[in-house]
Structure 1
Amino acid sequence: MWKTAATATLHCLTGCAIGEILGMVLGTALGLHNAATVILSIALAFVFGYALTMRGILGHGLTLKAALGIALAADTVSIAVMELVDNAFILAIPGAMDAGLTSTLFWITLIASLAVAFVLTTPVNRWMIARGKGHAVVHEHHHH
């Protein structure tokens, strides 16, 4: 079950990382305030997280609405925990949010925040899968 939880978390991390990095890059490049950058990053993390899950299950004959419902059920808690942890980590590192895209501090902090989020989100996903929630919902559709 830990392997399934780690796989689900890695899957979530991929979508979160894409959204998070894109949001941070866009926010920084556009000169947005830190709060707006964080909000943009979180929104994009949810979008990409859900999109990756939907991409994986849409080929199984589901409607877009059904796939979205499964993605919402499977990923909402996982993405929320991951985003909370990774943004709190970034905000806790002095100067990280104000570091530019060419700054080593920016990239090291972003990568470290995603690693910490992975470690802290995996047990949450394991707990949910054990109860038939989270990614357990997705796996039901992979087997049909």
Structure 2
Amino acid sequence: MSYRFAQGRGVSEGAAGSALPTQAASSEALPCGGCGTGGGCGAGSGETIEGSAVLDSDGVQRIAVDTSAGYSPNLIRLKAGVPAEITFGQGAGCFAEVKSNDLGFYADLTSGPKTVAIPPLEPGIYGFECGMDMVFGSILVQ
């Protein structure tokens, strides 16, 4: 197991343990860091809050993520091979932006909720994080 840590807008960051994977075959979520404003992964507590996307009649799975005090949920479950949309709520401070290097998306959340389209994915774990690279979430595709 490896842990990722960051301090103060990513000025000092690194990893402990083995290399941090961007995709993993297990169902274990990637660890998450805390925001300088006291926020953690889920609702500011650092706990894992799971949520599963709902498959709508148009064949797209959808889920909403509250960003008022962390990412809730911070572990999003998606079905492999099915397109998805994740709507991130309006955010400020640490949660003013959300991005994923794994999936290639970025959204500015300061003016209101934003929906990110996710193409059909292979099974694995994909990460997302705040714009400061301090608060993290995971998308588990099974």
Do both proteins adopt the same fold according to a TM-score greater than 0.5, normalized to the shorter chain? Answer: no
- TM-score scaled to structure 1, two decimals? 0.30
Greater percentage in strand? 2
- TM-score scaled to structure 2, two decimals? 0.30
Greater percentage in helix? 1
Which structure is higher in RCO with an 8 Å CA cutoff and minimum separation 6? 1
